[in-house]
Amino acid sequence: MKQIIGIGNALVDALFKVPSDDILSDLNLPKGSMQLLDKERYNTICERVSGHPVELRTGGSAGNATLCYAKLGGEAAFIGKIGKDSNGTFFSGERALQGVRPIELFDALPTGVAMTFITPDGQRTFGTHLGAAVTMMAGELRQEWFEGYDYFFIEGYLVQNHALIETAVNMAHAAGAKVCLDLASYNIIEEDHEFFEHLLEKTDIVFANEEESFAMTHQTPDDALDTLAKVCEIAVVKVGARGAMAKSGDHKVTIPAVKVPEVVDTTGAGDFFAGGFLFALGNGGTLEDALQQGARCSSEVIQVLGTKLEDSVWEKLRTN
């Protein structure tokens, strides 16, 4: 069985269900985006939502993808940096329960928090204060961490640190791992397009949704898939309720979306898709098998608040 190691922002998701888009406008958070918050703006938003019901989950794109991979029965590890605070303790404890081997670095800054606002349509909007996560540096990485892993998963949210990503990718390739990149958010791509182009040249498997693929290529999803597949060994483009498609060389596969009774929260949908896809692929599945498993995992997580699925759901996903 193939193993996966991910690197990303070690975050605690603070989940807020809001009745409308109005609070997003009040907080100047574009719906569906991920906005990085400095300490002052983070504190301001905390004051604004003080008293509002909140639920905590482990978060971060790579953290969610490795969680899914581990829960399906694979071996997974995650590299991230946290603070020595209550959120850091929560993050570490949950990682252990999830079966993901933590490779933890620590900083004096507080653990990062992703304030996640979920509107009635299930869409999520992030206001993220990276805290300790942003202090992870290239010089802290160790080659031995990557040895023995078949997949190395990067979240696009981390690419602002070019040196860290370059070093991690080089170490992963030196260890014989395939580099898997989730493009993460359209606005992040727009702000750092040149580096994303460079990173794709070193990427074996790329994941994108419709908005991200357009931000990367300025093309429709089908054309974007073709363009990405010319650069990467495997390209995956997800088109929401219309399903998903993957291409490797000249081989293209398209699947419909899994219908669900109700979309509660889309947090982690893309991450679980990637985790499920890679797990199936790593266990000898075809591109279609991988797309189907990704879609099943994604369909389950959007029916709950956050990324915590019941054991019975994981058992169902493992046996399908």
pLDDT along the chain (320 residues), means of 10: 93 90 91 88 90 88 95 96 94 90 94 92 88 94 97 90 96 98 90 95 97 97 98 96 95 95 87 97 96 97 89 92
Which two three-digit tokens encode residue 124? 């999520």
Length reported for the chain: 320
Split into its structural domains, the chain has a count of 1
**Alpha carbon distance 32, 19 (integer Å):** 15
- What's the confidence (pLDDT) of residue 306? 80
Torsion of Cα atoms, 76 then 211 then 38 then 101, to 10°: 0
Q: Tell me how far CA of residue 52 lies from CA of 16, 19, 48, 49, 55, in angstroms.
A: 7, 12, 9, 5, 10
Measured distance CA(33)–CA(116) in Å, rounded = 10
CATH number at residue 312: 3.40.1190.20
Helices (H) then strands (E): counts for the chain: 12, 14
Q: Scanning the structure block, which residue is given the tokens 């290529």?
A: 217
**In Å, how far from its chain's centre is CA 92?**
18
| Whether 238 contacts 209, CB under 8 Å | yes
Q: What is the pLDDT of residue 173?
A: 97
The per-residue pLDDT for 286 is 97
> For residue 192, what pLDDT is reported?
93
Domain carrying residue 37: 3-319
